[in-house]
Structure 1
Amino acid sequence: MSTLYQELLDANIGKVLKNEPLAKHTTIKIGGPAELFIEPNSKKDLITVLQLINKHKKNWRVIGRGSNMLISDEGINGVVIKLGLELDYYELDGESLRVGAACSVIKLATLISKQGYSGLEFSSGIPGSIGGAIYMNAGAHGSDMSKILEKAQILFEDGSIEWLSKDELEFSYRTSILQEKRPGICLEAVLRLKKGKKEEIVAVMQRNKHYRRETQPWNYPCAGSIFRNPLPFYAGKLIEEAGLKGYKKGGAKVSEMHGNFIVNSGDATANDVVQLINDIKSTIKEKYNISLETEVEIIGLN
């Protein structure tokens, strides 16, 4: 890894750090060190990073704003790439919105609503980036990214860049083709919005935001929803009915506000969270014969 590190420094592609604690970059504030941590300066530099990683045959992964993931306390072997300011932008052209993958979903939804454009109201409390939201087809309040996405620009492992349409991304519930079938990095997206009445759009945004504040524990470090909803049932409701609100393992606790959230009460480890997840799964299976699947991505843990 030392040779790759030196070549990245020589290429002047941006920030390159050894053993960077990933707890600093995740919303649940858990995660050991990344062997190499990179924040490229530009798309061109990001392509150079991938070329060098492939040359040295190193494993890599991308993180956006660090939500929806749980990283091992031992960290990640290989390279972690964080998309930064070079991909944090948006440009509105009528009802077409061009947006960089690192742009905050919450920030974007707020800015767009104030300009009287509808489509992103559902996302007003989603704490990730646009790239991450496309990767997992993030959604809430009866809508998701597949409802507004026209196309996304993807950088693949071999350095090629393609625009994939909504259909080509093969969206389904909290999944896309980028997760397993065609791993890649979302660089940019084009969203289709609708012009509407600013007051009505902002009111819906505020209502959704208020609902999240009243029902979800955003005052504690957490990774977002832990389990996918086993439709037609809802994971949070099953967990609450099973009496698991407030249940703890070490520093990890099932939120007393919402059963589908696990919070870091101050000193939680990744192992605490995984043990808690496994206990919840076992309880729900035993009580209701329903198998819960995690929505949060678990990295480096069994």
Structure 2
Amino acid sequence: MKQQIKQEIQDFVKGEVLFSEPLKRHTSFQIGGPAEVLVIPRDIDDLQNLINYLYNHTISYQILGNGTNLLISDQGLSKVVIKMTNLFNWIKFKDTKVKVGSGAKLPVIAKKAAERGLSGLEFAAGLPASVGGAVIMNAGAGNLGSIGDLITQVKVISPTGKLKQYQRRELYFSYRKSNLQEKEEIILEVELELKPADKENVHNKIQELILKRKQTQPLTMPNAGSVFKNPPGDSAGRLIDQAGGKGLRVGGAQVSTKHANFIVNLGSASAQNVLDLICKVKKLVDDYFGVELETEIIYLD
């Protein structure tokens, strides 16, 4: 990217502009090379101006939320990375509906919903994702529910900087997938429809799910959540465990000994370590069960 472009971005953006920023600081895996330019917009106008500028100069960009479902290349990203979590993290309740900015974190929304006696988001209490990323991937927790089940509308910004709103009937959600993945649009806000419920019951359910996650998942080690999608009627973790994959290691990356569908960063893991380990696990399960695992985490290079 030309120095002049970088200077112009720095001059007109009101928010924060960082150069050669290590992306491992912005992902839960704590892995990833530098972003050539990382921008944290101050407000929607700032974001629109930036998107317009990038479109007019045919410069590619990458949206970054909470960085919880990502593996970023060791070489980093030679594009503009736009981080949303600092700006779009507001939450507004009205009756049984809640409107949230795309940078708001799911556990925070789930907790605030419980305080108001609203049910539906309990499954999300332990998912450390931002709303924008969760909607794109239709994040969920096993058979407990997915965020797509609750969505009534989504506001986005187009690649040319125009605002647009999708109603529920225009959105399609399936297992860890949405039609928003196919669109080059940035999610700004999401409206969810929840159900009235007993506060104590909702709170107890959340505590129960959080406790279960602590007992079964490697939450104290850097990771990117579930690595593989569950095959129909089965569990990726069970297959990897049964095939002998628990504890398998490449460099600083290891299949968690606590939950086989998690890969943890032991402290020095590179993205290549993780990619090589993913290949090893896929081959192990294919050889043992004849099942081809599909990755759930997103690799950016």
TM over 0.5: yes
Residue 171 of structure 1 is aligned with which of 170, 173, 176? Answer: 173
Match of 1:112 in 2: 113
Match of 1:48 in 2: 49
Give per-residue Cα distances to partners, 1:240-295, cap 9 Å, x unaligned. Answer: 11111111000000001111000001100000000000000111111111111110
* Superposed counterparts of 1:175-194, under 5 Å: 175-180=177-182, 182-194=183-195
* Superposed counterparts of 1:156-167, under 5 Å: 156-167=158-169
More displaced, 130-139 or 3-12? 3-12
Match of 1:278 in 2: 279
Separation of aligned partners in 1, 2:158 and 2:55 = 11
Match of 1:144 in 2: 146
Separation of aligned partners in 2, 1:210 and 1:183 = 37
8 A Cα contact 2:23 2:34, kept in partner? yes
8 A Cα contact 2:40 2:86, kept in partner? no
Confirm whether residue 67 of structure 1 aligns to residue 39 of structure 2: no
Measured after TM superposition, the shift of residue 141 of structure 1 is 4.2
Give per-residue Cα distances to partners, 1:23-60, cap 9 Å, x unaligned. Answer: 00000000000011000000111111111111221111
Measured after TM superposition, the shift of residue 161 of structure 1 is 1.6
Change (3 A) 1:141 1:287: closer
Separation of aligned partners in 2, 1:289 and 1:26 = 33
Separation of aligned partners in 2, 1:144 and 1:38 = 30
SS in 2 for 1:295: coil
What is the number of residues matched between the two proteins?
299
Separation of aligned partners in 2, 1:75 and 1:169 = 32
Confirm whether residue 255 of structure 1 aligns to residue 249 of structure 2: no
Match of 1:121 in 2: 122
SS in 2 for 1:256: coil
Give per-residue Cα distances to partners, 1:109-137, cap 9 Å, x unaligned. Answer: 11211221111001111111011110100
8 A Cα contact 2:19 2:38, kept in partner? yes
8 A Cα contact 1:40 1:84, kept in partner? no
Separation of aligned partners in 1, 2:169 and 2:227 = 27
Match of 1:25 in 2: 26
SS in 2 for 1:62: strand
Separation of aligned partners in 1, 2:238 and 2:217 = 13
Runs of 4+ in 1 over 4 A off after TM superposition: none
Separation of aligned partners in 1, 2:87 and 2:106 = 16
Give per-residue Cα distances to partners, 1:226-246, cap 9 Å, x unaligned. Answer: 001111111011001111111
Separation of aligned partners in 1, 2:239 and 2:13 = 51
SS in 2 for 1:167: helix
Identity level (%): 38
TM-score by length of 1: 0.97
Structure 2: runs of 5 or more not aligned? none
Structure 1: runs of 5 or more not aligned? none
Separation of aligned partners in 1, 2:179 and 2:13 = 32
Give per-residue Cα distances to partners, 1:136-170, cap 9 Å, x unaligned. Answer: 00001421011111011011212122111233221
More displaced, 220-229 or 50-59? 50-59
Match of 1:87 in 2: 88
TM-score by length of 2: 0.97
Separation of aligned partners in 2, 1:291 and 1:285 = 5
Quote the RMSD (CA, aligned, Å): 1.0
Separation of aligned partners in 2, 1:83 and 1:201 = 29
Separation of aligned partners in 2, 1:178 and 1:139 = 16
Measured after TM superposition, the shift of residue 205 of structure 1 is 0.5
8 A Cα contact 2:85 2:102, kept in partner? no
